[in-house]
Amino acid sequence: MEGTEGRSRTASSGIADWSLVFWTLCAVILPVLITLWCSFQRSRRQVLIRDIFRKSKHDWHYTDLFGQPSYCCVCAQHILQGAFCNCCGLRVSERCLKKADQLFLCKEIMMRSNGGAHSSMPHHWIRGNVPLCSCCMMCKQQCGTQPKLCDYRCVWCQQTVHDECMMDCLKTEECTFGEFRDLIIPPYYLSTINQMRKDKKSNYEKVVPYGRKHWMPVIILANTRSGNNMGETLLGEFKILLNPVQVFDLSKITPAKALQLCTLLPCNAVRVLVCGGDGTVGWVLDAIDEMKIKGQERYIPQVAILPLGTGNDLSNTLGWGAGYAGEVPVEQILRNVMEADGIKLDRWKVQVTNKGYYNLRKPKGFTMNNYFSIGPDALMALNFHAHREKTPSLFSSRIINKAVYFFYGTKDCLVQECKDLNKKVELELDGERIELPNLEGIIVLNIGYWGGGCRLWEGMGDEPYPLARHDDGLLEVVGVHGSFHCAQIQVKLANPVRLGQAHTVRLILKSSKMPMQVDGEPWAQGPCTVTITHKTHALMLYHSGEQTDDDASSLSEQDHVREQTDEDV
């Protein structure tokens, strides 16, 4: 009897143990299975979304959170996340994406015209999610005030209209392309020009708006990797306001290919807006020089700058500011491009010839827009460049970049790796040997600004010197005593060692290896001869609305010098 009870107790305890094991396994495995299932469904959904994005004519982008109250254009429900089109501005929830892609047309970058000189197109209306503070073109009252999908916006002229004000006549009315009609390439224009080229016709003036007096089509070239990584956002905003065919991402297409669009547009009328740092501007100007070599000089555009880089000294010199962080609306940027004045910028050839009896290498050649230097600032640039090559993800902020420059500048103040430079180099200005004082660095300037916003040639501005200009065929050559001296000049506590102005600069590095840079591109250089001569002019756009006090004083001094010159003549 007792044995039977013992066996039953043992069996029941064994069942209880197995039951505990079973439920423990369920508690562990079930969440894992649910997680795996959800992950599988999410990845499957992402594959479907990417497939729709790839096949669609819309420029879809996915976001986890919209920046303003948004409503799905299909189901009209309020949405926090979903997809939006960078070209036409459609916003949809994830579940309605496929249906929206089938129902709604995007901006057509090219379309057949009605022919002749009166080519036109109707409005392209999109319902809902109109810009904040927009007004109805009919009743002049504010649109988009109701918390629902309401009101319409034309994707070309950006005009908005209330639901109740929308009439049949508006749906067929001719679109005028709005405020930026002088900058937009109409979708029927390119197809008409292409057809005329096939037919070997050259009377482009019959195609609207080719012959219009104030038409100055703009091409946007944005580097999405520059400085603070705002290029991606700007690409979308420009595609909304302009024809997407005018907007190029330089991480996907080279400037040389993008600028071939100029050959389909009126001669001497195209304007290019480069969104990036000084290096990106130099890249674009090199592509324009290639156009000259190909015999396309009459299609050369004028270049404006939207500064997204770290230093932005060329942009600052031309009045476009020291850096852009989204504080100015894109609409105002386009207005500034329309109003800007054309000027010339000197471009210089920098030739570096290595020394040595058995040196068979070709001389290295660079094109300089801003400045050339040897010494502490080139060393800072070289250290920064090496650090950025190792960990590029850390250098996505302009503030971080400047902090790294500050760190290496402080380090050089203590180490002084470039001391006694005057004993290692010889300097010639227009063939005349210059006796050098005790220096650590030499800087050859083409533009007024250097080092992220410092007017180096003027220094403290307390000594009368010929003003630095970027279009006079002259280079300004200065020396610095070290990194600390550079910092003093930047805060106007010291003047540089002004060595002179010249049309040709020759610098001979006699011994050791020294850091050099051209427009922020650094390298370590052994004994060599550096020769800087004038190469060509670039057609740039100057914006007078971003002047600092230094700019205003410099311009007034330049005007005064010109007046005196005119009086002498």
Please tell me the least confidently modeled range out of 116-125, 134-143, 419-428, 451-460. 116-125
- The predicted pLDDT at position 374 comes to 92
Smallest CA-to-CA distance from 534 within 296, 369, 353, 316 is with 369
Q: How far is CA 500 from CA 132, 351, 420, in A?
A: 55, 20, 20
* Contact between residue 304 and residue 272 where contact means Cβ atoms under 8 Å apart: yes
The confidence band for 291, taking pLDDT boundaries of 50, 70 and 90, is: very high
- The predicted pLDDT at position 427 comes to 94
Tokens 């400045």, residue?
Answer: 371
* Contact between residue 423 and residue 437 where contact means Cβ atoms under 8 Å apart: no
The answer, yes or no, to whether residue 272 has pLDDT greater than 70, is yes
CB atoms within 10 A of CB 423: 12
Same domain, 169 and 265: no
> 301 or 386, which is more confident?
301
C-alpha–C-alpha distance, residues 234 and 331, integer Å: 11
Same domain, 523 and 454: yes
Q: How far is CA 522 from CA 121, 354, 371, 380, 569, in A?
A: 51, 16, 12, 9, 45
C-alpha–C-alpha distance, residues 382 and 403, integer Å: 15
Same domain, 388 and 426: yes
Is residue 8 in a domain? no
Is residue 264 in a domain? yes
Is residue 75 in a domain? yes
The answer, yes or no, to whether residue 554 has pLDDT greater than 50, is no
CA atoms within 13 A on the CB side of 135: 5
**What domain range includes position 282?**
181-193+214-339
Same domain, 333 and 370: no
C-alpha–C-alpha distance, residues 259 and 257, integer Å: 5
What is the mean pLDDT of the segment spanning 58-80?
90
The answer, yes or no, to whether residue 556 has pLDDT greater than 50, is no
Is residue 9 in a domain? no
Per-residue pLDDT reduced to its tens digit, 327-336: 899 999 999 9
Smallest CA-to-CA distance from 177 within 128, 246, 232, 235 is with 246
- The predicted pLDDT at position 402 comes to 62
pLDDT above 70 covers a percentage of the chain that reads 83
Please tell me the least confidently modeled range out of 153-162, 348-357, 494-503. 348-357
The answer, yes or no, to whether residue 412 has pLDDT greater than 60, is no
Q: Which of these three, 339, 367, 399, is where a domain ends?
A: 339
Per-residue pLDDT reduced to its tens digit, 134-144: 899 888 899 98
Same domain, 442 and 423: yes
The confidence band for 5, taking pLDDT boundaries of 50, 70 and 90, is: low
Same domain, 335 and 445: no
Is residue 199 in a domain? no
In terms of average pLDDT, the best of 10-24, 214-228, 330-344 is 330-344
430, two tokens: 């227009």
Same domain, 294 and 369: no
220, two tokens: 């946007």
Is residue 36 in a domain? no
What is the mean pLDDT of the segment spanning 181-208?
81
pTM above 0.75, yes or no: yes
The number of folded domains in the chain is 4
Give me Rg for the CA atoms of the chain: 31
The confidence band for 559, taking pLDDT boundaries of 50, 70 and 90, is: very low
Same domain, 447 and 531: yes
- The predicted pLDDT at position 450 comes to 87
- The predicted pLDDT at position 561 comes to 36
Same domain, 71 and 139: no
CATH of the domain at 475: 2.60.200.40
Same domain, 277 and 368: no
CATH of the domain at 131: 3.30.60.20
The answer, yes or no, to whether residue 558 has pLDDT greater than 70, is no
Is residue 207 in a domain? no
Smallest CA-to-CA distance from 370 within 483, 273, 448 is with 448
Same domain, 168 and 92: no
In terms of average pLDDT, the best of 50-54, 485-489, 523-527, 556-560 is 523-527
Q: For residue 534, give every residue at least 6 positions away whose Cβ sits within 8 Å of its Cβ, in sequence order, or none.
A: 346, 347, 348, 349, 473, 503, 504
Give the phi and the psi of residue 336 in degrees, each rounded to 5: -65, -40
CA 53 centroid distance within chain: 25
Q: Which of these three, 339, 374, 400, is where a domain ends?
A: 339
Is residue 145 in a domain? yes
Same domain, 358 and 236: no
Q: What is the CA angle 388-392-398, rounded to 5?
A: 75
C-alpha–C-alpha distance, residues 350 and 369, integer Å: 10
